[in-house]
Chains A and B, each alone.
Chain A
Amino acid sequence: MEKLITRAQQGEKDAFGEIYLLFYKKVWRFIYFSFWDKEQTSDLTQNTFIKLWKSLPSFNVERGSLQAYIFTIARNLIIDESRKKKESLLDEALEIPSKENLEEDLDRKEAAERVQKALANLEPEEKQIIILRYFEDLAFADISKILKTKEGALRVRVHRILEKLKEELKNEF
Chain B
Amino acid sequence: MNFEDIEQKLNNLKADYQATKLPRDLEEKGLWEVLGKLEERKVRFSRRPFWFASATLLMIIVFGLLAGWKKVEAALPGDSLYPVKRFSEEIVSKVSKDSQIKVENRAKEVVDLVEKGEENEKALKETAKEYEEEIKSAKEKLKSEKRQEFNKKLERHQEEFKKVIKKSSSSNKQVEEIIEANKKIREENEENKEREEEKKEEERENSKSSEKD
- Interface-lining segment among A25-33, A64-72, A73-81: A25-33
Write out the residue numbers on chain A whose beta carbons fall within 8 Å of the beta carbon of B1: 166, 169-170
| Bitwise interface map of A from 114 to 139 toward B, beta carbon under 8 Å scored 1, else 0 | 11001000000000001100110000
Smallest CB separation, B182 vs chain A (Å): 48
Write out the residue numbers on chain B whose beta carbons fall within 8 Å of the beta carbon of A112: 16, 19-20
Given contacts A134-B10, A173-B9, is CB(A29)–CB(B17) below 8 Å? yes
Q: Which of B14, B30, B35 contacts A13 (CB 8 A)?
A: B35
The reply to whether A169 and B21 form a contact with Cβ atoms under 8 Å apart is no
Mark out the residues of chain B between 1 and 32 whose CB falls within 8 Å of any chain A CB in the assembled complex: 1, 3, 6-7, 9-26, 30-31
Smallest CB separation, B19 vs chain A (Å): 5
Write out the residue numbers on chain A whose beta carbons fall within 8 Å of the beta carbon of B39: 53-54
Smallest CB separation, A157 vs chain B (Å): 14
Query: Cβ of A105 < 8 Å from any Cβ of B?
Result: yes
Query: Cβ of B95 < 8 Å from any Cβ of A?
Result: no
Given contacts A11-B40, A21-B31, is CB(A100)–CB(B13) below 8 Å? no
The reply to whether A111 and B14 form a contact with Cβ atoms under 8 Å apart is no
Given contacts A42-B25, A100-B24, is CB(A111)–CB(B16) below 8 Å? yes
Query: Cβ of A108 < 8 Å from any Cβ of B?
Result: yes
Q: Which of A10, A49, A173 contacts B41 (CB 8 A)?
A: A10
The reply to whether A10 and B43 form a contact with Cβ atoms under 8 Å apart is yes
The reply to whether A50 and B37 form a contact with Cβ atoms under 8 Å apart is yes
The reply to whether B19 and A130 form a contact with Cβ atoms under 8 Å apart is no
The complex places the Cα of A50 from the Cα of B33 at a distance, in Å, of: 10
Write out the residue numbers on chain A whose beta carbons fall within 8 Å of the beta carbon of B91: none
Write out the residue numbers on chain A whose beta carbons fall within 8 Å of the beta carbon of B38: 13, 16, 50, 53
The complex places the Cα of A131 from the Cα of B14 at a distance, in Å, of: 9
Given contacts A11-B40, A134-B11, A166-B6, is CB(A115)–CB(B35) below 8 Å? no
Query: Cβ of B44 < 8 Å from any Cβ of A?
Result: yes
The reply to whether A29 and B41 form a contact with Cβ atoms under 8 Å apart is no
Query: Cβ of B34 < 8 Å from any Cβ of A?
Result: yes
The reply to whether A115 and B41 form a contact with Cβ atoms under 8 Å apart is no
- Supply 22 A–B pairs (Cβ within 8 Å), ascending by A: A13-B35, A16-B35, A20-B35, A21-B31, A24-B30, A25-B22, A29-B20, A46-B33, A46-B34, A50-B37, A57-B41, A97-B23, A105-B21, A108-B21, A111-B19, A115-B20, A135-B10, A135-B18, A162-B3, A162-B6, A162-B7, A169-B10
* New A-B pairs, 9, CB < 8 Å, besides A111-B20, A135-B14: A13-B38, A17-B35, A42-B26, A111-B17, A112-B16, A115-B13, A115-B17, A115-B20, A162-B3
